[in-house]
Every structure is written in C-alpha cells, then in structure tokens.
Amino acid sequence: MSNKEDILKRYRSHVREKYDMPDLSDIKAITYPDPLAQFIQMSRNVGGRVVEVEAGSDINQLIKSIYPDAKEIASNLPEISIATRNPDTVADAQSLNGTDVGIIKGMFGVAENGCIWIPQTMKEKAVCFISENLIILLPKSQIVHNMHEAYKRIEFNDYGYGTFISGPSKTADIAQVLVMGAQAARSVTVLLMPE
C-alpha cells in the first residue's frame, strides 16, 4: 500500500458519521443581463486588462503594440507567429524562465468573477505561471454567468490538467502591501476574440 493510500485509510478509519451530498439542483445561481459586460468589469476589478479584438485584426501586431519591449514570447498557438519559444518543444519548464509574454488560449470566461478556464494544451504548463505577462485569447461568445455553469463545462484532455486564471497574481500577505506578480504573471491581458 502506498503512503497516500495508507494516510487516506487512517483518515477514513476516524470518520464517525457520514452525510449524503446536498441536493444542488435547486440552487439559483446569479445571472447577469449582459454576461460579457459583467465579465469585462470583473476582469478589470481583479487587475486584468481586456481588449476587444475587431474582426480581421492582425493579432500579432496587436500583441506587439500591447507589449512593445517584449523580447521573449512563448506560445504554441499556430496563429502566433511572433513567438520565440514554444512550450511544446522546450527541453523543460525551466527553459521558459525569462519569458516576457506567454500567450495561451482560454476555453470560456465566467462573468461572476472574471475567471477563465485554461485547459492544458501545451507540454509545459509553466508558461501559464512563469511568464512575466500573460495574454489569454478568449472567444467573445464563450462567457458563462457563474461558476455553477462553469463547472458543468470543464473538460480535460490527455494532459488531465486545467486551471482557472483571473487577473494577475497578487498578494497582500506581507505588511498588507499589495504586490503584483507574487506567484505568477504581473499582468494579464484578455483578448476577446471575434467568432
């Protein structure tokens, strides 16, 4: 028996009462008259930047205009021709250290809190967290109202990993001073893509 199974077995042996899961079918989750507008507002509230991309725009030029000083750009997306690093072909996650801008794709956004579901679609998921700045391409039409709807839409691929990202990394644990980029990206820009 593995250490993990041994620990879980010990925990289970101390459970005295068991309870059924509550019925969640009657929960009336929050909805919004305009989920897209709410998503944009919440994304900005958590420190993110949102840019609505017009149909026919050159996405690479737009990214260069947002981060003109970026030298190292990491992405495995075929539409990103300005990438200097590919998280599918680097030797290891450490090879992504020093990435100025990571560019990834989100599956859907959540109006309630500005979160975006990011399934792992690259070999080295570190690009989502090690990049100084993160750009998330998100289809404008893929915004759900709340986390109840979001959890129903979560899908995993062969990597078996995904995460919600909402704005840049931040903490105020030390001396109650807000620090951006404490554990991950210092900035997050959401590019709302037309269909």
> For 8-63, how does the pLDDT look when each residue is reduced to its tens digit (9 = 90+)?
888 888 888 888 888 877 888 899 999 999 999 999 999 999 999 999 999 999 99
Q: What angle do CA 15, 17, 18 make, to 5 degrees?
A: 95
Fold classification of 32-193 is Rossmann fold (3.40.50)
Rounded Cα distance, 189 and 183, in Å: 17
Higher-scoring residue by pLDDT: 73, 3: 73
Count Cβ atoms within 10 A of the Cβ of residue 182 and give its class: 0-12 exposed, 13-18 middle, 19 or more buried: middle
Task: Enumerate the domain spans of the chain.
Answer: 32-193
1 pLDDT above the threshold of 70: no
Residue 119 reports pLDDT greater than 80: yes
Bigger pLDDT: 106 or 184? 106
pTM, two decimals, is 0.85
DSSP 8-state code for residue 162: E
Q: pLDDT averaged over the chain?
A: 92
Q: What angle do CA 167, 186, 70 make, to 5 degrees?
A: 115
What residue has token string 């200097």?
84
- pLDDT 10s digits, 152-186: 999 888 888 999 999 888 777 777 777 777 778 89
